[in-house]
Amino acid sequence: MDKIKLNVLGISYSQTQSGAYALVLTEENGDRRIPIIIGGFEAQAIAIQLEGLNPPRPLTHDLFLSFATAFDISLIEVNIYRLEEGVFYSKLVCVYKDREVTIDARTSDAIALALRFKCPIYTTEEIMAQSGIVLDIENESDDDSTDEEKYEPSPSGENPLVDLDLKGQSEKELKELLEEAITKENYEKASMIRDELKRRKKD
């Protein structure tokens, strides 16, 4: 089974869940991105590592790294292997004394650990097909800024999805909303619209 390598693009405030965040992963050799809703603690753990900050006392994921290093345990890769009812499932692939061990983990924790161990993150084509959002590269090419520069957290207090009535929209209107959401890099909204379009295809 072919594996697709992912990179962490950034984190944004969730616009639908108070205290939650949207983690965005992007495929290394493609244009698709995966938005994943995660908790505040995990978002902090990921953001600290992305920014290269050193907290005064180790966070749980830092402790895991220190523990594993002390006992010569290596994390060689993270696999996001299943998507069920909007929930992503992940595995940690570890090596200890030439023995490979696979451990189930929440995807947010798995990503936080992958950043600390500097190991690759993979998923499958099936999951990318289900959850990936394709970007309009032509529109992006007109902007000189990078993805990391453009991907800013939404201002606190804003919640443009509260009154979003997807079921009342036609398929054409949904596709237009999807394009608009992707252009504005509102991945959470785009994810919701994409899921509504998929539900309609199944009916």
Residue 136 pLDDT class (50, 70, 90 cuts): low
Structural domain count, the chain:
1
Q: Does pLDDT of 203 surpass 70?
A: no
Q: Does pLDDT of 153 surpass 50?
A: no
For residue 182, the model assigns a pLDDT of 67
Higher-scoring residue by pLDDT: 193, 84: 84
In 3D space, the residue among 18, 10, 32 whose CA is nearest the CA of residue 123 turns out to be: 32
Mean pLDDT of the chain: 80
Partner residues linked to 35 by β-bridges? 24
Partner residues linked to 79 by β-bridges? 91, 122
Q: Does pLDDT of 75 surpass 90?
A: yes
Q: Is residue 182 part of a domain?
A: no
Q: For 117, how many CA atoms within 13 A lie in the half-sphere containing its CB?
A: 28
In 3D space, the residue among 37, 5, 38 whose CA is nearest the CA of residue 189 turns out to be: 37
Q: Phi and psi of 18, rounded to 5°? A: -65, 130
Domain that holds residue 127: 3-158
Q: Is residue 71 part of a domain?
A: yes
Instruction: Read off the CATH number of the domain in which 127 is found.
Output: 3.10.690.10
For residue 186, the model assigns a pLDDT of 65
Q: How far apart are CA 31 and CA 202, in angstroms?
A: 25
Higher-scoring residue by pLDDT: 156, 28: 28
Q: How far apart are CA 149 and CA 131, in angstroms?
A: 24
Q: Per residue in 98-108, pLDDT tens?
A: 899 999 999 99
* pLDDT mean over 45-71: 88
Q: Is residue 65 part of a domain?
A: yes
For residue 146, the model assigns a pLDDT of 33
Q: Is residue 196 part of a domain?
A: no
For residue 135, the model assigns a pLDDT of 61
